[in-house]
Amino acid sequence: MCSPIPYHKPATIIPSEYYYITREIESWNNFPVTYSNSVFRAILGTGIAKESEMVNWLLSNSSRYGIVIDTSMQRHIFLLFCLCFKAILRDASVLNNVLMWLESQVSILYGVNGKLFVLNFVKKCILVGASALLLFPLGNEGGESVGSKEGKSDTNCIRERKILMPQVVAAVAALHERALLERKIKEFWFSHPSNNYQLYVFVVIFIL
């Protein structure tokens, strides 16, 4: 287990190390209790990574876990992820406990798929963090160094994002509200399986 240390600028990652990071996190079938120093540095890398490379995963992959989300829900979910990653960046030893808390929140909407949703998104974020530290970035023939990329990161990278308690409360409330809507839609669908038009009207009225 890596010892908790204050956030600092992590060392660069070479391509071969990136490969082993990929192999290690792909083997995770549960939230990790221990992990290598390379993965630890990749986690630190999420602090300077571009948010867009992580947040876009939510919209494009949410449906695989049974829920189609809009950009508003995407923002709420990502805010909860950011809250957890900020805690992990301060103390990497809390990763397992933090992810279990996150699972409990996300499962409000995703149900039994919540844990897998969280685990796979965490894997994505770690790879993004590793990519942010690559000595020769993927897809960049010129080979920019970490130092040359720092000024190009999103303004609101995870490390710099400010999260207020009312935002967290609003995000959790949004998960509850959307979960309620999902239940009502399913109840209506199973009681009126052949009337798609009524289902559409019901969804529009309920959302408005």
| 187 — pLDDT class (breaks 50, 70, 90) | confident
φ, ψ dihedrals at 152, nearest 5°:
-100, 0
Q: Using CA atoms, how far apart are residues 82 and 116, in angstroms rounded to an integer? A: 18
pLDDT value at residue 52: 87
pLDDT value at residue 20: 96
Whether pTM > 0.85 for this model: the answer is: no
pLDDT value at residue 205: 55
Q: Which of 130, 120, 146 is nearest to 19 (CA)?
A: 130
Task: Provide the angle, in degrees to the nearest 10, between the axes of the packed helices 165-191 and 95-110.
Answer: 40
pLDDT tens for 120-168 read 999 999 999 999 999 866 654 333 444 444 444 444 568 778 899 999 9
Contact 30, 113 (CB under 8 A): no
Say whether pLDDT at 25 is over 70: yes
DSSP reduced 3-state for 13: strand
| 39 — pLDDT class (breaks 50, 70, 90) | very high
φ, ψ dihedrals at 109, nearest 5°:
-100, -40
φ, ψ dihedrals at 139, nearest 5°:
75, 10
Q: Using CA atoms, how far apart are residues 193 and 136, in angstroms rounded to an integer? A: 54
Q: Which of 102, 132, 133, 130 is nearest to 118 (CA)?
A: 102
Contact 14, 145 (CB under 8 A): no
| 4 — pLDDT class (breaks 50, 70, 90) | very low
φ, ψ dihedrals at 106, nearest 5°:
-65, -30
